[in-house]
A and B are shown apart, each in its own frame.
Chain A
Amino acid sequence: MSEVRDDRQYTETHEWILDNGDGTYTMGISDHAQALLGDMVYVELPSAGDEASAEDEFCVVESVKAASGVYAPADLEIVEANEVLDGEPELVNSSCYDDGWLVKFKSDGIDGLMDAATYSKTLD
């Protein structure tokens, strides 16, 4: 079974979003998503200061098996990208909710996210 953490929210495209409480959010992909994609070999990240509109593909995670776009959940501005992933993309597999986070961004608010219980049901 995939792990779903209660402290954060989820998108329909299997990203997680953690509200840091200061107008910034941290984002990554869910345990379900990393398991589906398999061994990560490359993560293409935006840079601090980059802006993205809702639904833009603004990161790409590539596993041995496939490339998968990561989509902006709202209009946002990147605060920080997890550059450790350049050298250790496998952190997205081994620690998708902690060390394997993708980006931190600023946003005025995000609509349409699921809580952990609702997201868990979509995985059944």
Chain B
Amino acid sequence: MKHTPLYQAHIDAGGKMVDFGGWEMPLNYGSQIEEHHQVRNDAGMFDVSHMTVVDFKGLQAKVFLQTLIANDVDKLKTEGKALYSCMLNEKGGVVDDLIVYYLNDEDYRMVINAGTTEKDIAWINTQAEGFDVSVEPKFDLAMIAVQGPNARAKVFEAMPGVEDVCGELKPFNAASLGSLFIARTGYTGEDGFEIMLPEKSAEFTWKMLLEVGVKPCGLGARDTLRLEAGMSLYGSEMNDQVSPLEAALTWTVDLSDEDRHFVGRDALEALRDKGVKKTIVGLVLEGKGVIRDHQKVLTSLGEGKVTSGTFSPTMGKAIALASMPMGAVGSCEIEMRNKQVSAKIVKPPFVRDGKVLV
């Protein structure tokens, strides 16, 4: 199995290691629920070095990305500005979801998922043929996400010089400091930074963060945090067969420039004109139990399916994201272990910045 530069640090911290798409990663370091609360209430850190950074450089970097992804990088005008988007196949299915950062019109940085990296790079290289752009995966970068209401203050305390550069950084923006690339982004619904850094600096930085009281958190807490925040997980809420229009990701698709022919656009417009039949909604269980992935959901408009189910540590209730018939509102029934339990249909997010919103 593949190891990140922080593998030994996880072992030293008592990490319970699991196979995550070929990477040996920490599921938790004891209690997943405590790690979850740590991020909601203070500051926690995640090793996300298994994710892949790809740099795009060249005269046609901008026009290439305007073709590759469904959101329009023309929105990015200032250095470090970030944009969330999907890249689509010709049928409008999601190849991957990603964040792209603007450096200048000839230089962009993208972060893609770990499990899809091989497929993505092959796809991107195929699409890049004929464009004056270089596609440069940075496999020698590590990434640490520090998240929580106190995350930024603790990063400033642990990493000298960062406050000077990132003290005024706005959400969804990034800045460079030497070999560091620091983005005010995340996957938890809390404030914080995602720090990309050379792999040889990773262990030292991790230790500095530990010393100021940032606690290591595993993939288990990462999943419950992102689910409470209503954020999609590639492979669960969307995949190669699901359109962003069917995954509550319409806001990441930009059709405004009619001359921008991005991959999958024709299929999206055809689907939109025919009528989108399903979408992703939130569910809050009203009875007892825990909602699990793939459970069947019954509504007056037809059947749906749980895409991500869990127990919300912040709410003390089971919650889920589910693919449901478009227009389903009110109550539904979830088939759980041979019984039906009522749930309320809500609009995600469930939790943002420590507050319950549903």
Chain A residues in the interface with B (C-beta under 8 A): 38-39, 41-42, 44, 60, 62, 64-67, 90, 93
Are A42 and B288 in contact, with the CB atoms below 8 A? yes
Interface presence of B110 (CB below 8 A): no
Are B33 and A44 touching (Cβ within 8 A)?
A: no
B32–A42 CB distance below 8 A: no
The CA-CA distance from A39 to B35 in the complex, in Å, is 11
Q: Are B220 and A38 in contact (CB under 8 A)?
A: yes
Q: Among B33, B288, B289, B337, which residue has its beta carbon within 8 angstroms of that of A64?
A: B33
Q: A64-B311, A65-B220 are in contact. Are A38 and B28 (CB under 8 A)?
A: yes
Q: Which residues of B contact A67 (CB under 8 A)?
A: 289-290, 292, 337
> Cα distance A66–B291 when bound, in Å?
10
A38 contacts B32, CB within 8 Å? yes
B: contact size bracket: 10 to 19
13 A-B pairs with C-beta separation under 8 A: A38-B32, A42-B290, A42-B318, A44-B289, A62-B311, A64-B32, A65-B32, A65-B220, A67-B289, A67-B290, A67-B337, A90-B33, A93-B31
Compute how far the CA of A90 lies from the CA of B32 in the bound complex, rounded to whole angstroms. 12
The answer, among A41, A60, A65, A93, for a CB contact under 8 Å with B337, is: A60
B32 touches A62 (CB 8 A): no
B-to-A contact residues, CB < 8 Å: 27-28, 31-33, 220, 224, 288-290, 292, 310-311, 313, 318, 337
Q: A62 contacts which of B28, B33, B289, B313 (Cβ < 8 Å)?
A: B289
Closest to A60 in B: B337
Q: How far is the CB of A93 from chain B (nearest CB, A)?
A: 8
- What residues of chain A lie closer than 8 Å to B28, measured between beta carbons? 38
By the criterion CB–CB under 8 Å, are B224 and A64 in contact?
A: yes
Contacts of A90 in B (CB 8 A): 33
Measured CA separation A72–B310 after assembly (Å): 27
Find out whether the CB atom of A41 lies under 8 angstroms from the CB atom of B31. no
Which residues from A are CB-within-8-Å of B313? 64
Contacts of A66 in B (CB 8 A): 292
- Which among B32, B290, B292, B313 has the greatest number of chain A C-beta atoms within 10 A? B290
Known pairs A39-B33, A41-B290, A44-B289 / 8 extra A-B pairs, C-beta < 8 Å: A38-B27, A38-B31, A41-B311, A42-B311, A62-B311, A64-B290, A65-B32, A93-B31
Select the residue from A44, A62, A67, A93 with max chain B CB neighbours within 10 A: A62
Distance between A71 CB and nearest chain B CB, rounded to angstroms: 14
Q: How far is the CA of A7 from the CA of B290 in the complex (A)?
A: 33
In the bound complex, CA of A44 to CA of B337 (Å): 12
Residues in chain B near residue A62, CB distance under 8 A? 289-290, 311
A76 and B313 CA atoms in complex are apart in Å by 35
Report the minimal beta-carbon distance from B342 to chain A, rounded to whole angstroms.
16
> Are the C-beta atoms of B32 and A44 separated by less than 8 Å?
no
A93-B290 Cα distance, complex, nearest whole Å: 17
Task: With both chains docked as a complex, state the minimum distance between the C-beta of A44 and any C-beta of chain B, in angstroms.
Answer: 7
Q: Which residues of A contact B224 (CB under 8 A)?
A: 64
Task: Verify A39–B32 contact, CB threshold 8 A.
Answer: yes
Q: Which 6 A-B pairs have the closest CB atoms?
A: A41-B311, A39-B33, A62-B290, A39-B32, A64-B311, A64-B32
Instruction: Name the distance in Å between B336's Cβ and chain A's nearest Cβ.
Output: 9
In angstroms, Cα B27 to Cα A41, docked, is 17
Chain B residue with the shortest CB-CB distance to A93: B31
Complex: chain B residue closest to A43, CB-CB: B288
Contact A39 B290 (CB under 8 A): no
Q: Which residues of B contact A39 (CB under 8 A)?
A: 31-33
Most buried by B among A39, A60, A66, A67: A39
